[in-house]
Amino acid sequence: MTKTRRANALMYVVLTIVSVISVFPLYWMLISATNKSVDVSRGTMLPGGAFFDNWKSLFAQSPVPTAMLNSFKYAIILTLVSLVICSLAGYGFEIYHDKGKDAVMSVLLLAMMVPFVATLVPLFRMFSAAKLLNTTIAFILPTISTPFLIMMFRQSARSFPHDIIEAARIDGLNEIQIFFRMFVPTMRSTYAAAMTITFMNAWNNYLWPKVIMTDDTSVTMPMLVANLTEGYVTDYGILMLAVLICSLPTVVIFFFLQKSFAEGITGAVK
């Protein structure tokens, strides 16, 4: 066996081991959702017959439809609004470039170093004083624009030909028309990557909704999953089924947009 073949064989062995390690948590979640709590505690690695019992118990003791509806509503609204605002900001920072905007962008990037926990109490007091608790605005407003997405759209705008913009202006298009008719269709992969990131972050957001959503009718799926562990006894079969249901939307979105996601991320860092 030549050195090249040995190297390839070693590479495939390592990749296989890493793949198994990566897939195992998903397999464990699927298997655990079909077993009783006692079987999950014992570390059973084979499918069981308690899936429908866990399903009935989960829907009986937790408002799963309400949590799913709330999570979809908050995540979709936040994603759409965030894409519009961050893409406009990134486009403006690059197309109308000057030193002042570079200074503002530097401040935005520095803001990424501030942990969200440090602003949690002031934000809660602000929204409480504004009587915005348990509202969609309270959910989306703190993360409606992120420095990372602005930076990603700005990097993508650097590859957008300025000659096209000048030609469009000569043809009579205004700046808004140039953005929506020419920039947005050209940057589909960047929008797909940004949409995937924003939706996943919004869907999996737990800390801020836990603080701002004090009404049971405003519960989200991550909050519902966390509530299942707050009793004296945790039913791990039901818990794993709830985790499975909570994970499905993000898995489906990433599965269908993975190619565009990779292209968008690659294009953003060139």
Most confident of 18-22, 66-70, 131-135, 213-217: 66-70
pLDDT in tens, 22-79: 888 888 889 999 988 888 888 888 888 888 999 999 999 889 999 999 999 999 999 9
The pLDDT, as a whole number, for residue 82 is 93
Alpha helix (H) ranges present in 97-187? 99-111, 120-129, 136-140, 147-157, 162-170, 175-178, 184-186
Closest CA to 238 of 40, 25, 66, 26: 40
pLDDT in tens, 151-202: 889 888 888 887 888 888 888 888 888 888 888 888 888 898 889 889 999 9
pLDDT in tens, 80-128: 999 999 999 988 888 887 788 788 888 888 888 888 888 888 999 999 8
Arithmetic mean of pLDDT, 215-225 = 88
Q: Which residue type, as a one-letter code, is found at position 6?
A: R
Instruction: Give residue for tokens 């979640």.
Output: 29
Q: Who has greater pLDDT, 173 or 265?
A: 173
> The dihedral of CA 80, 141, 68, 193: what is its sign?
positive
What is the spatial distance between Cα 266 and Cα 95, in angstroms, rounded to a whole number? Answer: 20
Arithmetic mean of pLDDT, 249-262 = 80
pLDDT surpasses 80 at 261: no
